[in-house]
A and B are shown apart, each in its own frame.
Chain A
Amino acid sequence: MVAASQHPNITLMTYSEVEEVGGYVGNFRVKIRQKAKSVNHDLCTGCGICWEKCPNTILNEYNQGLNLRKAIYIRFPQAVPNKPVIDRENCRQFQMDGKCGVCKEVCQAGAIDYEQQDLILEEEFGSIVVATGFDLFAWEKAYGEYGYGKYPDVISGLQFERMSNSSGPTEGKILRPSDGKEPQRVVFIKCVGSRDDAKGKSYCSKVCCMYTAKHAHQVLEKIEGSEVYVFYIDVRTPGKGYEEFYRHSLEEGALYIRGRVSNIIPKNSSLIVRGEDTLLGRQVEVEADLVVLATAMTPSYGSDAVARMIGIGTDKDGFFEEAHPKLRPVECHTAGVYLAGTCQGVKDIPDTVSQASGSAVKVCALFSVDERELDPLTSSVNESICSGCSTCVLVCPFKAIEIKTVTERFYGQTLQRQVAAVNEALCQGCGTCTAACRSGAINLKGFTNEQILAEVKAACL
């Protein structure tokens, strides 16, 4: 993280979103909104007095709701940049007509700026790497048998990670959210939202088997005398050193039960986990102190808007579609746009890093030339018969057609009229406009009406 922020060739824009993407390979025009941080980062020293004194507290999303944060905040101690922003929606200064101002008062550097506005930056880029990542499947909305999120001691794998992380809400201790006690018996349930056509996604989320094995190891390592039960459908460990890692957690004492959990019922302060052991062919019941769900990866929220903005196809689950599943796994159908990481499909960290480096190489290869040849199979307009009706402009999926004004002489008079004009760099040669053109003025080079009719005639011989 620090390497990325300190690299002289990298301009880091956090708290920013891409709003508009136009143009084409080599010449993308991009509008980026830098959201108002309400803190001048040039002056801020990151001392932390502002968030210490801030009187407003809200649920900490970064810690998965396991503790509270202030309205002026940094995400975690090693955050990059290590300077706060004000969450205006939850700040008294902004929500109660300026009736607070504590952070401004305590800030020694004079960095707090309530007047700061969003900045819109427009820049041109030769290439775009999309790495919008993933979110977790919202199990609370789908799995009634696990309590729809009603039981505080049924948590997600990411909540477990935050607890286990020494900069998290419990400073690295694994505790029950309900009473803050250390759990003795922990149950893990795999494939929550994955491999489940009825309630979740049909795909295997790929990383859950391994992170559950890691969680099992962490419980057994951190809590003396603890017991770990893992309910699973299959154990999938295809990766370097993965099977050995899983074996290690078995040897440490994790007990794997093959079968699904049918329901979780609270009993006093613990939870009764009922399921089936399909290897023994009988019902099992485990009284657990903590239940951890291995939820599936899904595309990051808002990634559909990014896909529409740039013109990336998505698959049935919303993951970005690569140009070819085997031979062009980091490219998109839009030239000059490359994919990296889980926005393209579920993957673990080694695969993500490999794909990111792959897309970087594609960008560098594109940048190694000053000009790039394009496919000439694009639409062309016969201006003499184009009526300027704009139908083609409306149907073009690549926004490649514009209306332009031409001047021509007609019986001694100078006339101006409107005709369609195709941007060859944007046109992908799909032919939609040629089918829609009522006057037959647009032809697709390489697939002209004459060529297609010649084919038809030959077929009818």
Chain B
Amino acid sequence: MKRVGVFICHCGSNISAVVDVNSVAEAAKKIPNVAYVTHYKYMCSDPGQEEIVKAVNEHNLNRVVVASCSPRLHEPTFQKTLQRAGLNPYLLEIANIREQCSWVHSKFKDLATAKAIALIRMMVAKAAENVPLLRPSVYIRKKALVIGGGIAGMQAALDIADAGYPVVLVERDNTIGGKMAMLDKTFPTLDCSA
């Protein structure tokens, strides 16, 4: 059975000043497969994340929807939270009710609230279809290629080499040094450049 938990974030007042989080929470309770709903001032904070871990365990949740900012920002954060709660990180979905809702509809509070509910409904439906995914891993060959033998390439090659890894430094000209070696003195200390 799918048991989805919905966690609505206020983002301080970034979301809650526009979207009526209380009525969003009430509406979310009626969405199919939703087993638990709560809202909190900062879902990404330590106590916010603990709220998720606690709810997953207490209410036996197996899918999580966080309604908050863009997944580009905190998807990795909440994936780790799910792992701590014992769930596969890919059973998480983020409903973006900040960038795609409160920030762009700040003048239309009622409509923004309705849109937030719709976004959450969509992500709950998607989360119900989610399956656990495993991260494949690849072997890492410990040898670096640096393309370009100017000051940037030389510095990177030296730092990697100093850490003990082999480096191949490729330069198309017949000397390294790049543009910097062409200069006379360098500002602001006027030390030589070659």
List chain A positions with a Cβ less than 8 A from chain B. Answer: 1, 3-5, 7-18, 24-28, 30, 32, 37, 62, 74-76, 78-81, 84-85, 123-134, 158, 161-162, 164-168, 172, 210-211, 213-214, 218, 239-242, 244-245, 300, 302, 306, 338, 340-343, 348-349, 352-353, 355-357, 359-361, 363-364, 366-367, 369-377, 424-425, 445-446, 448, 450-452, 454-459, 461
Contacts and interface: CB of A to CB of B under 8 A. Distances in A.
A7 B158 contact: yes
A1 B154 contact: yes
Nearest to B177: A1
A218 B184 contact: yes
Contact of A9 (B154, B167, B175): B167
B188 A80 contact: no
Contacts of A352: 151-152, 155
Contact of B153 (A124, A241, A356, A369): A356
Given A129-B147, A361-B159, A366-B140, A461 B121 contact: yes
Nearest to A167: B194
A340 B166 CA distance: 18
Contact of B176 (A80, A125, A239): A80
Contact of A80 (B143, B157, B175): B175
Contacts of A132: 147-148
B173 A446 contact: no
Contacts of A366: 140
Contact of B129 (A18, A239, A450): A450
Nearest to A303: B148
Nearest to A240: B188
B172 A10 contact: no
Contacts of A369: 140
Interface string B16-56: 00000000000000000000000000000000000000000
B11 interface: no
A131 B139 contact: no
B145 A357 contact: no
B128 interface: yes
Nearest to B159: A360
Dominant SS among interface residues on chain A: mixed
A210 B187 contact: yes
B55 to A, nearest CB: 22
Contact of B125 (A7, A446, A457): A457
A78 B150 contact: no
Interface stretch (B97-105, B106-114, B130-138): B130-138
B168 A123 contact: yes
A356 B188 contact: no
Contacts of A129: 144-147, 153, 156-157, 160
B7 to A, nearest CB: 18
Given A27-B139, A127-B145, A133-B148, A15 B167 contact: no
Given A125-B168, A373-B136, A4 B174 contact: no
A340 B122 contact: no
Contact of A12 (B121, B135, B139, B176): B176
Contacts of B181: 1, 76, 78
Given A4-B157, A361-B159, A364-B165, A241 B189 contact: yes
Interface of B: 90, 118, 121-126, 128-130, 133-190, 193-194
30 contacts: A1-B181, A3-B154, A9-B165, A13-B168, A14-B173, A14-B174, A17-B170, A26-B141, A75-B173, A76-B182, A85-B174, A125-B145, A129-B144, A130-B148, A131-B156, A158-B179, A172-B184, A213-B187, A214-B190, A245-B188, A300-B148, A302-B172, A340-B152, A340-B153, A341-B153, A342-B152, A356-B152, A356-B153, A364-B159, A458-B121
Contacts, number: 306
Contacts of B172: 15-17, 302
A360 B168 CA distance: 13
B144 A454 contact: no
A84 B173 CA distance: 11
Contact of A211 (B146, B159, B167, B187): B187
A133 B183 contact: no
B130 A451 contact: yes
B178 A16 contact: no
Given A126-B141, A133-B148, A158 B159 contact: no
A239 B151 CA distance: 19
Given A30-B145, A74-B174, A370 B139 contact: yes
Contacts of A373: 135-137
Nearest to A310: B147
Contacts of A10: 157-158, 161, 166-169
Given A4-B158, A126-B140, A165 B146 contact: no
B130 A425 contact: no
Listed from nearest, the 8 A-B pairs whose CB atoms lie closest are A341-B152, A360-B159, A458-B125, A9-B161, A131-B153, A356-B155, A131-B148, A79-B175
A78 B155 contact: no
Contacts of B128: 454
Given A17-B172, A360-B158, 12 more contacts: A4-B169, A12-B149, A14-B174, A18-B147, A26-B140, A131-B147, A165-B183, A356-B154, A356-B156, A360-B155, A371-B138, A451-B126
